[in-house]
Each structure stands twice: as C-alpha cells, then as structure tokens.
Amino acid sequence: MPFSLPELPYAKDALTPHIDAQTMEIHHGKHHAAYVSKANDALKGTSLENASVQEVARRLAELPADKQTAVRNNAGGHLNHSLFWQVMAPPSSGGGGEPKGELAAAIEKSFGGFDAFKEKFAAAAAGRFGSGWAWLCAHGDGSVHVTSTANQDNPTMDKAFGGEGADHHPILGLDVWEHAYYLNYQNRRPDYVSAWWNVVNWSKVQELYDAAKA
Ligand code: MN
C-alpha cells in the first residue's frame, strides 16, 4: 500500500499562538504531503514497496543505491512528521505540562529532572545546524536519551543513514526545519522551542514510551 497523508489530530489553528495556523497548513498540507508522494514514487517497484514506513526506515540499506537518498529523505520525512503531529495537542486538550508516572521517573533518572531534560533537549534543538530534528528516544530497558538528526533522518535508521539503530525508539520529536517555524518566529528558533513545550502531548509520549519498553 502506498503511504497516505494522515489527518491532523486537531484543527490547523488549535496550537495557536505557539504554532500558527498558516504554518500548520503549509507544513502538513504541502511539506508532509510532498514527502508522502515522493516516498511513494521512489519506492515504486522496489522490494519495500509494501512495507510500513517504520520498516522502510530500518531497511534502507536493502534498496537499490540509486533509490536510497530519495527514500531516506522522503520516507524519513513521512515517518518524522507522522510522529510530530501526534506528540502535540492544544493546551485546552492536554498539551503542555509535565510527564507523569514511569516516563517522569525515567526522565528523572536519565537527566536528573524535568527541567534538566528540557534544557538538554532545547540545546539539541538549537545546536542542530541547518535542518533537522531533536528527539527523546526510549530503549527496551526503559532508559531514555536525547539526540538529534540532520535533514529527515530518524534515530531508527541505521548508522549508515544518520540514525542510531533499531533499539532507539523516538517517543518525542521536534521539527527544527525553518519551514516549521519561520512564518511566526523567523530566525528565533529558541523562541519556537520554548513555546513548543506548551503543546507537547505527554500522554501520547507516555504511550510511545510504554510501547518502546514492551
Ligand atoms: Mn517539517
């Protein structure tokens, strides 16, 4: 089955003022849509044509060399954005605040506290030169760590493709491409990152954490 563009789980203006409606509309309806259609074109006729996007990301090395870059960029873009929409929610429906339960405990253990985690994550987001993503990843053993990737790479891709391997499960991702914030924040990426904490959907992140440990 070719990939298709997932619906946003909230209205385009639901994350305002932290992320404006026009940015959401172009980001989802144009950028993400283009990753989907280009990934489908590049995968057509290959052995991974019917694989899930997660599987495609893990198995890029199996593709013909002349397809690998297009699939890495575009299936990566589809995978990353599909997560991104899910890990946000309007403040009026649970966005923002702090993680609870086991995830909060894992963050405490790995970083020494929620504020220390936020600092480390924001530094990864600010320090990613050019376009890319900041991530919170979980491992099967329940530990968590912060990382970042360039372009549309994903931590589950193998090292030859900018990732960290299949035991790095992204449970929270922040898009730091300029297309994600430029209309509202221009060059002020750190302001975008600070505002973004107000729309993080921690109950979804907890769900992904539980799944990564299972
Ligand atoms: Mn994006």
Residue 28 has a pLDDT of 98
How far is ligand 1, taken at its centre, from the CA of residue 112, in Å? 30
pLDDT at 50: 95
Mean pLDDT computed over every residue of the chain: 97
Phi-psi region of 162 (alpha: psi -120 to 50; beta: other; left: phi over 0): left
Residue 136: strand, helix, or coil: strand
Return d(Cα 115, Cα 124) in angstroms, integer: 14
Distance 87 CA to ligand 1 centre (A): 14
**Taking a C-beta distance cutoff of 8 angstroms, is the pair 195, 96 a contact?**
no
Assess whether pLDDT exceeds 90 at residue 91: yes
pLDDT tens-digit profile of 119-156?
999 999 999 999 999 999 999 999 999 999 999 999 99
Which pLDDT tens digit goes with each residue over 191-213? 999 999 999 999 999 999 999 99
Other C-beta atoms closer than 10 Å to the C-beta of 159 total 8
* Stretch 158-165: mean pLDDT: 92
pLDDT(92) > 80: yes
Q: Give, in order, the Cα–Cα distances in Å from 214 to each of 139, 165, 183, 207, 210.
A: 10, 17, 40, 11, 6
pLDDT score of 214 = 79
29-64 pLDDT, tens digit each: 999 999 999 999 999 999 999 999 999 999 999 999
Under the banding of pLDDT at 50, 70 and 90, the label for residue 178 is very high
Mean pLDDT of 82-86: 98
- Surrounding ion ligand 1 within 5 Å at CB are 175, 177, 180
Cα-Cα-Cα-Cα dihedral sign, residues 59, 72, 79, 196 = positive
Q: Phi and psi for 30 in degrees, rounded to 5?
A: -110, -60
166 pLDDT exceeds 90? no
Global pTM value: 0.97
pLDDT at 44: 97
Kindly tell me the burial class for residue 16, based on how many C-beta atoms sit within 10 Å of its own C-beta (0-12, 13-18, 19 or more).
middle
Ligand 1 centre to CA of 156 (Å) is 18
